[in-house]
A and B are shown apart, each in its own frame.
Chain A
Amino acid sequence: GAGVSQSPRYKVAKRGQDVALRCDPISGHVSLFWYQQALGQGPEFLTYFQNEAQLDKSGLPSDRFFAERPEGSVSTLKIQRTQQEDSAVYLCASFQTGEYGYTFGSGTRLTVV
């Protein structure tokens, strides 16, 4: 595709509900990142994939957070038993090996009520 696509754009979840956020990176981009951006803050690293391999998940805040990219293209970030502190914008970014610039998706704004 022409850009990084994320869905849904907005998600309201009741506390305790599971959610799944989707990222469709630029076609052919090997590297994919997930970031969490709280209101008024910079993006905070969550996890990184190279193709289907999750090379770094050190930023995932708890074991309720899980990410996958089974075929090396689309990625899903899953949050189980959501809590209010999970409310944030979740940004996905991709880039091709050898290129430094990230392309961000529009993000998913998650609100846990």
Chain B
Amino acid sequence: GENVEQHPSTLSVQEGDSAVIKCTYSDSASNYFPWYKQELGKRPQLIIDIRSNVGEKKDQRIAVTLNKTAKHFSLHITETQPEDSAVYFCAGYNNNDMRFGAGTRLTVKP
């Protein structure tokens, strides 16, 4: 099955700086890579996703890049704000099998 690794486990940035979270996956057949944001005590919420036929996708301050050859994908948050503070999870999906990374706790300091 799929194995997803995520780095770093914690990330602290100053408000206004950029944050980058990286994930690698093992199953070359995986074709969909979502990112979830989870605030304390709340459910994971989908914030952006990318499919395997696309190399990059952007939505306002959030972007995701995918390198299929290297089997890694990254989340980029620009102009970070304190409300971006949360745990972020990447995931890889293939054939009804969604596996998550261990998460990155992002702290944005005002």
Q: B59 at the A/B interface (Cβ < 8 Å)?
A: no
Q: Mind listing 8 A-B residue pairs with CB under 8 Å?
A: A40-B103, A42-B102, A43-B89, A56-B96, A101-B34, A102-B98, A104-B45, A106-B42
Question: Number of residues in B with C-beta < 8 Å to the partner?
Answer: 22
The residues of A with any CB-CB pair to B shorter than 8 Å are 31, 33, 35, 40-45, 48, 50, 55-56, 58, 91, 100-107
The residues of B with any CB-CB pair to A shorter than 8 Å are 1, 6, 32, 34, 36, 42-46, 49, 51, 89, 93, 96-103
Question: Are A56's CB and B89's CB within 8 A?
Answer: no
Question: Are A43's CB and B49's CB within 8 A?
Answer: no
> If A101-B34, A104-B44 touch, does A42 touch B96 (CB 8 Å cutoff)?
no
Residue ID in chain B nearest A30 by CB atoms: B96
* B34 proximity list for chain A (CB < 8 A): 100-102
Question: Are A43's CB and B44's CB within 8 A?
Answer: yes
Question: Are B46's CB and A50's CB within 8 A?
Answer: no
Question: Are B43's CB and A48's CB within 8 A?
Answer: no
Question: Are A42's CB and B6's CB within 8 A?
Answer: yes
Residue ID in chain A nearest B42 by CB atoms: A106
Bound-state Cα–Cα, A43 to B46, Å: 14
Question: Are A45's CB and B101's CB within 8 A?
Answer: no
Counting from the closest, the 3 A-B pairs by CB-CB distance are A42-B100, A104-B43, A100-B32
* A40 proximity list for chain B (CB < 8 A): 103
Bound-state Cα–Cα, A91 to B43, Å: 8
* B43 proximity list for chain A (CB < 8 A): 91, 104-107
* A58 proximity list for chain B (CB < 8 A): 1
Question: Are A50's CB and B44's CB within 8 A?
Answer: no
B75 to chain A, nearest CB (A): 14
Bound-state Cα–Cα, A43 to B38, Å: 11
Question: Are B46's CB and A42's CB within 8 A?
Answer: no
B109 to chain A, nearest CB (A): 20
* B89 proximity list for chain A (CB < 8 A): 42-43
* B97 proximity list for chain A (CB < 8 A): 45, 48, 56
* B36 proximity list for chain A (CB < 8 A): 104
